[in-house]
Amino acid sequence: MKQNTFTKLFLSTFQLSACTFGGGFVIIPLMQKKFVDELHWIEEQEMMDLTAIAQSSPGAIAVNASILVGYHVAGVFGALITVLGTVLPPLIIISIISFFYTAFRDNVIVNMAMTGMLAGVAAVICDVVITMGKSIFQKKRVLPIIVLFASFVAVRFMKVNIILIILICAIIGAIDTLYLGRKGRQA
């Protein structure tokens, strides 16, 4: 792996993490634009798969996604580089803010800026939902759509534990993959 790749991995994740407010759901579409659309290091479907794994793994989604992207692009060292690039900006920013916490806490302008940022974060999360949902509906398969709506209903209206939903979806996905694999070999 070239040194240029490691540098680009670090700088890309550092920049994305430094300029992103709102957590993992906000950084995921930006990672997709960077690594899929701009650098062409990952295919769109692979990025969707990595996102699904990052969301279902314990820990911060942004860190999980950076580990998976870094590993996919450049192995273990790539994963270490991307984690470092992802966690350094928040660590630096939070360290600086902690020194001035009392001044920031009561500042009207800071409070207004945070309120404005919440609206932007909500818009980006809506974009993620639409983008990920679009890929499910474009496949023209019924099972993923049923799982999508059943999961939403179970979490939203029936208050089913999200861990149970993830496990059930993983089992359904594994069975479906095995079924499609057998069906493909028989054809």
| pLDDT of amino acid 1 | 55
The model's pTM is 0.62
Half-sphere exposure of 79 (CA within 13 A, CB side): 9
| pLDDT of amino acid 71 | 94
Instruction: With residue 61 as reference, give the H or E element that holds it.
Output: helix 61-99
Q: DSSP letter at 36?
A: I
From CA 73, how far away is CA 51, in angstroms rounded? 15
Which among 80, 14, 24 is positioned nearest to 51, based on CA atoms?
24
Q: DSSP letter at 37?
A: I
Each residue's pLDDT expressed in tens, for the chain with a length of 187 residues: 577 899 999 999 999 998 887 666 778 888 888 999 999 999 988 888 888 888 888 888 889 999 999 999 999 999 999 999 999 998 998 888 888 777 777 788 888 887 888 888 888 888 877 877 787 777 778 898 899 899 999 999 999 998 899 899 989 989 998 988 888 777 6
Which among 36, 67, 23, 62 is positioned nearest to 135, based on CA atoms?
36
Residue spans per domain, the chain: 3-110
| 156 exposure class (CB count in 10 Å sphere: 0-12, 13-18, 19+) | exposed
From CA 6, how far away is CA 24, in angstroms rounded? 22
From CA 8, how far away is CA 36, in angstroms rounded? 14
